[in-house]
Chains A and B, each alone.
Chain A
Amino acid sequence: MHRYTLGTAIALAVAVTGGTTGLATPPAHSAPAAATTLDSSTRSLPPGAGVAAIAAQAANQQKTTTHNLNLRRGKSAGTKVLVTIPRNTTLVVTSTSGSWSRTSYKGRTGWVASAYLKKAADAKAPAKSTRKRTTYNLNLRRGKSTGTKVLLTIPRNTTLVVTSTSGSWSRTSYKGRTGWVASAYLKNAAAAKPTYRWTTANVNVRKGNSTRHGSLGVVPTNTRVTYVRTSGGWSKAKTSKGTGWISNKYLDKHPQHSVVVYGTLRKGQSAHHILSGRTTKQTKTKLAYYNMYLKPHQTWWSFITPSSSRSRTVVVERMDIKSGHYRSTLANLDKWERFDATKPLADQNYNRKLVTDRDGKISWAYVGGSKISKYLSMHGIRVVSGDYLSRY
């Protein structure tokens, strides 16, 4: 028994001194391959390792790998490698034997060289703060034990941010108090719905919230980015170039939708000059569930109102706006139609709304404001064809 143990210890020494059989990727200070020979390398063993190896220790300790590390079937560098565990992986060591530690990783259980494990931080910080929801009314405690003082009780279904975990406890804050709750009574909270923004130009994503900061790269116009927060007229956003800062001057809350027009903004009509030269494409299509009205005597003025009938359609021209002109064109259209999103919608002549046309494209449309629509449609003429150009 002793001889066996000693032999094991000798073999172990090969591994822990950096033999290629122990480490998936040898660290820079690893011994040469010759060190795998079973000679005097026992000197490399930690003091007492040979004898201590006899008794496996029940541990259940959290350890972190310091290198890419082979999980082996047995407590020997000569045994089969089951899987390679990446560096900085936290493992639960269930027992130790000599210089080997028994652990599991990805469903495989085996042995790793203890020398390449370090004690995991007392409280392991998750990669990111994690949103959790309480499944019961839950005590927030001063420490990681039911014997510690209860700071307060957190109601069921409360969403918390867990900043770190330790064993079966999670560290969190609630109503200004920070402490520990039992992790068993937490479940993953639904991820917060991401908020998006769209770039209005080819724009630099910068490392900080000013032009003094370097660029991570340029994001093309009309690209969706995930908004994080705002600071000093800049928005932090997740982009294809990484997480960085974009000036709010180049961000919109909507993508660059096309605009559908149905009256004097149509090609060849009296207000088309607002769109002239600013479009990349003009497509004739229809808008269902809308009526078109004209006011008698004033047949130039048209407006559309929602209808409950799919058969009520309006002929529209869908204008795809050039990216570089998008903002100014939309601003001009708003101005022309006297639309101001900050004012009560019901009081305006037109409201700019998103509509879906027959082709399934989502576009802006100027829809009659509710009050004026009621007034004008009272004695208005409904254009049965829905086509402004066929109104007479």
Chain B
Amino acid sequence: MKKQGKIITGVVSSAAVVGLVAWGIGFAGAASSNEWKLPGDLVAGPAIAEANPSTGTAVKTDRFDNVQKKIGEKAGLVDEQTNKSYFTIEVTKTQLLNRCTSRVGNQQLAPTRSRFLVLDVKATLAASVSEQVGGSTRDLFMPLVAEAFSVTTSSGTPDRNVTSETAWGCFDDSVLLPPVVNPGQSVTGKVVLDVDATTGKVAYDPEDNGGWSWPYGG
């Protein structure tokens, strides 16, 4: 249960949150801030519970502190007091494509590396999130852009360079995941990455210090 103490005292200092499934990665800074900032001690990194407080199952992490998930398995942050999640994210499907249809001109776009890794993602952020982390609801969000994802190859090599211009151009906006999820919203859609490895793990890790990972390929 490494780092858990930091999170408990840092993120939700006054709230009696005990069991975060993973850490609260991406809450926005204050309204006056010019930069997107993590609140307080969250900068220190993720807190990981020993067990999922919702299901009781053991929480496994990889070497990069990403909580390991199965495809379709929900990850998130839980308020122990209410046992309710205030942020959840799940990769419901992964697909490797040799090409995709551009949203402009309908031409076929090819990956600049080996494959397009297309993720179907669902994310929710509770309207009550400001109660957990403070700040104005207007300024709170979680980023969902491709840049918030990374992959780890089966050999364990991390790769954060998984976006490209052609991946950006894939699919119509209507099927793509919005760039952010705001308090009170639940969003779904596709994220397109441009990867070298055809098997491995894809992580939602917006601050490059640990998040959640799901397997793909293989």
- A271 — nearest CB in chain B belongs to which residue? B165
Q: Chain B residues near A264 (CB, 8 Å)?
A: 165
Q: Given A274-B104, A336-B103, are A374 and B165 also a contact pair (CB < 8 Å)?
A: no
**B152 is an interface residue with CB less than 8 A from chain A:** no
Collect the chain A residues with CB atoms within 8 Å of residue B92's CB. none
The verdict on B163 contacting chain A, using a C-beta distance below 8 Å, is: yes
* Pair B179/A348 contact, Cβ less than 8 Å: yes
Chain A residues near B141: list those with CB within 8 A. 347, 371
Contact yes or no, A372 B145, CB < 8 A: yes
Q: Which of A270, A300, A340 contacts B163 (CB 8 A)?
A: A300
Of B33, B35, B163, B179, the most chain A CB neighbours within 10 A belong to B179
Is the pair A369, B147 in contact by a Cβ cutoff of 8 Å?
no
Identify which of A127-135, A202-210, A225-233, A375-383 touches chain B: A375-383
**Cβ contact of A298, chosen from B34, B161, B182, B206, cutoff 8 A:** B161
Question: Is B73 an interface position by the 8 A CB rule?
Answer: no
Interface size class of chain A, counting residues whose CB lies under 8 Å from the partner chain? 20 to 34
State in angstroms the CA–CA spacing of A273 and B29 once bound together: 37
Measured between alpha carbons, how far is A336 from B103 in the docked complex, in Å? Answer: 7
Verify A301–B179 contact, CB threshold 8 A. no
Min CB gap A388→B, angstroms: 12
CB of B153 closer than 8 Å to a CB of A: no
Known A347-B178, A374-B33, A375-B206; contact A335-B103, beta-carbon cutoff 8 A: yes
Nearest CB of B to A32, in Å: 79
Residues of A within 8 A of B172 (CB): 335
Give A263 Cβ to nearest chain B Cβ, in Å: 9
The distance in angstroms between the C-alpha atoms of A221 and B28, with both chains bound, is: 45
- Assess whether B163 is in contact with A298, with CB atoms less than 8 Å apart: yes
Indicate if A391 sits at the interface (CB-CB under 8 A): no
Q: Let me know if A374 and B34 touch, CB within 8 A.
A: yes
Chain A's nearest CB lies how many Å from the CB of B29? 7
Verify if A137 is at the interface (C-beta below 8 Å from B).
no
Query: Does any Cβ of A come within 8 Å of B160's Cβ?
Result: yes
Q: Are A338 and B147 in contact (CB under 8 A)?
A: no
Contact with B147, one of A274, A298, A374 (Cβ below 8 angstroms):
A298
**A297 on the B face (CB < 8 A):** yes
Asked if B168 is at the interface (CB within 8 A of a chain A CB), the reply is: yes
Please indicate the chain B residues that have their CB under 8 angstroms from the CB of A332 in the complex.
Answer: 104-105
Q: Tell me which residues across on chain B come within 8 A of A379, comparing CB atoms.
A: 207-208
Residues of B within 8 A of A297 (CB): 160-161
Assess whether A349 is interfacial by the CB under 8 Å rule: yes
Q: Which chain A positions have C-beta within 8 A of B166? A: 270
Q: A347-B180, A372-B179, A374-B36 are in contact. Are A336 and B169 (CB under 8 A)?
A: yes
Across the interface, A301 reaches (CB within 8 A) one of B34, B36, B147, namely B147
**Complex CA–CA separation, A297 to B173 (angstroms):** 24
Additional A-B contact list (16), CB under 8 Å, known A336-B104, A349-B145 = A270-B165, A300-B164, A301-B163, A332-B104, A332-B105, A336-B169, A338-B176, A347-B141, A347-B179, A369-B179, A371-B36, A374-B28, A374-B36, A375-B26, A375-B206, A378-B36
Identify 17 residue pairs between A and B in the complex whose beta-carbon atoms are under 8 Å apart, listed by A's number. Answer: A270-B165, A298-B163, A332-B104, A335-B173, A336-B103, A338-B173, A347-B141, A347-B180, A371-B36, A371-B141, A371-B179, A374-B29, A374-B36, A375-B143, A376-B36, A377-B36, A379-B208
